[in-house]
Amino acid sequence: MNLESLLYFIQQLLNGLTLGSAYALIAIGYTMVYGIIGMINFAHGEIYMIGTYVAFLAITALAMLGIEYLPVVFLFALMSSVLVSSAFGWSLERVAYRPLRGSNRLIPLISAIGMSIFLQNYVRLGQGSRDLAMPSLVTGGWTFGPEDGFQASLSYMQLLIFVVTFVSMTALTLFIARSRMGKACRAVSQDIGMASLLGINTNRVISATFVIGAALAAVAGVLLGMQYGVANPFIGFIAGLKAFTAAVLGGIGSIPGAMLGAMILGIAESMTAAYFTTEYKDVVAFGLLVLILLFRPTGLLGKPEVEKI
């Protein structure tokens, strides 16, 4: 392998990991909600989309006030996006899922699809259905390689995505492992009835799960919004579907699984786009999902469900 093709490969790997990081942030929401109440929240992609929109609005608002100092803009966008999306995530569960708890599994699923359509159109009516564009805030990066040949580059934006994802995932892992609410989350996901009988307010735990998932999706929304610079009310659909695929790939219900699945999916996509054709990247992504479901239905890190007696 010569230097040029090595650099090209490294570049694809970096792109894949960036994409995978964003998928991982969204996938957590799917996997945690599934782990706790066993439903697929198909409106989760819309929470991500709302996160992007709020970030755009926040950045525009600051720009109108003349504030353009990057750390301030980024933190403000991140915080407002996380707050608004969390509120949406919380309300979503309260309004659309809690009243249906205990009913047939299909019913909350249909409710989720309904909420997804509702949220898309809610944003479409408020913000218009055309693409919203924004100049990139974070520009520049490092390049490696010879002057006259192919140069691999790591942009500052990609670095920011890695760092923020890493920090979020570490915080989440510590939260689940150490905190009281984290312990309660694990207890509820294993046996919701027993958790309740031991005095855990399971409704609060479920709400917390939705809020955490929504907050992480909002982080992804801010980061990917800044990376791509465009948003429209329909970006949540495909991003949500990809993140869902990542969650299933890694083993739905498992948090490390979602992270792993997202990275594999991101890398598979960028490699397909680089070595094959861009058009086929979705085919590969969903083809992977089909293969996993055929040969390892519990996902990479999922454990087969033990029949309860």
Partner 1 sequence: MLSVNGISMQFGGLLAVNGVSLEVNQDEIVSIIGPNGAGKTTVFNCISGFYRPTAGAITFNGQAIHNLPDFKISRLGMVRTFQHVRLFNKMTVIENLLVAQHRHLNTNLLSGLFKTPAYRRQEDKAMERAAYWLRKVDLLEFANREAGTLAYGQQRRLEIARCMVTEPDILLLDEPAAGLNPRETKDLDELILSIRHCYNVSVLLIEHDMGLVMGISDRIYVVNQGTPLASGAPDDIKANPDVIKAYLGES
- Binding residues for partner 1, rule: CB under 8 A, are 179-181, 183-184, 186-187, 190-191, 193-202, 309
Of 194 and 291, CB closest to partner 1 = 194
Contact 285, 279 (CB under 8 A): no
Nearer to partner 1, 197 or 294 (CB): 197
CB 246 within 8 A of CB 23: yes
CB contact at 8 A, 65 and 143 = no
**What is the spatial distance between Cα 49 and Cα 55, in angstroms, rounded to a whole number?**
10
Instruction: Give the nearer residue to partner 1 in terms of CB position, either 121 or 179.
Output: 179
Tell me how far, at minimum, the Cβ of 171 lies from partner 1, in Å.
11
CA distances from 156 to 9, 200, 283 (A): 19, 44, 30
Q: Are 158 and 268 in contact (CB under 8 A)?
A: no
Give the nearest distance from C-beta 202 to partner 1 in angstroms: 7
Which string of b and e fits 231-257 if b means at least 16 CB within 10 Å?
A: bbbbbbbebbbbbbbbbbbbbbbbbeb
The minimum distance between CB 189 and partner 1, in angstroms, equals 9
Nearest residue (CB) to partner 1, 85 versus 189? 189
Question: Between 124 and 186, whose beta carbon lies closer to partner 1?
Answer: 186
Tokens 């040969």 label which residue?
A: 295
Residue placing its CB nearer to partner 1 in the complex, 64 or 197: 197
Amino acid at 16: G
- Tell the smallest beta-carbon distance from residue 7 to partner 1 (Å): 44
